[in-house]
Amino acid sequence: MSLRPITLSLLLAFSLMGAALAQTKPVGMQDEPPFIEHRVALQLSDEGEAKQTQVLNNVLNVLKFYGLDKVAIEVVTFGPGVELLREGNTNTARISSLIEQGVHFDICMNTLEAMERKSGKPFPLNPQAIKVPAGIAQLMTLSEKGYTVIRP
């Protein structure tokens, strides 16, 4: 039996699956103004309110330093870091304010699906969160698009 037809079929299936996943969210720079000079992606994969506060403080400091019209910021959450984007999180008002200033908050669907399978309950998601197929893949793509990736 030849493996070639099977290999071609698998390649086609994976490429179609990748195209479907890519449609979850255009990755980076999708609505970026033409005058953006700096791009940063902050990774949040740690648990705890102190780490959430640190990341949000970093976002605010970058906005203050460069100005709203000169910097694009994405906060990419996965693993325990998705708790930042739980509906009702103590930082929800801060997140909303930062979103109004153009900051994007991404949440990893791989993490959410795993959490929901384990708990048997849907994750109460902040409606302003942007769903991405995979948090690490999102960081890689953003890096390839010119974003500096930082893990505070």
pLDDT tens by residue, 39-62: 999 999 999 999 999 999 999 999
Residue pair 142/38 in contact by the 8 Å Cβ criterion: no
Taking residues 60-76, what's their average pLDDT?
96
Q: What is the pLDDT of residue 33?
A: 75
Whether 24 is covered by a domain: the verdict is no
* Paired strand residues for 75: 42, 105
* Paired strand residues for 149: 41
pLDDT bracket for residue 22 (50, 70, 90)? very low
> With 0-12 CB in 10 A as exposed, 13-18 as middle and 19+ as buried, what is 102?
middle
Whether 9 is covered by a domain: the verdict is no
CA separation for the pair 63, 36 (Å, rounded): 12
Q: What is the pLDDT of residue 31?
A: 67
Q: Where residue 104 sits, what CATH number does that domain have?
A: 3.40.1260.10
> With 0-12 CB in 10 A as exposed, 13-18 as middle and 19+ as buried, what is 82?
buried
Taking residues 76-86, what's their average pLDDT?
98
Say how many domains are in the chain: 1
Whether 13 is covered by a domain: the verdict is no
Range of the domain at 66: 33-150
Whether 28 is covered by a domain: the verdict is no
Structure tokens at 137: 């893949």
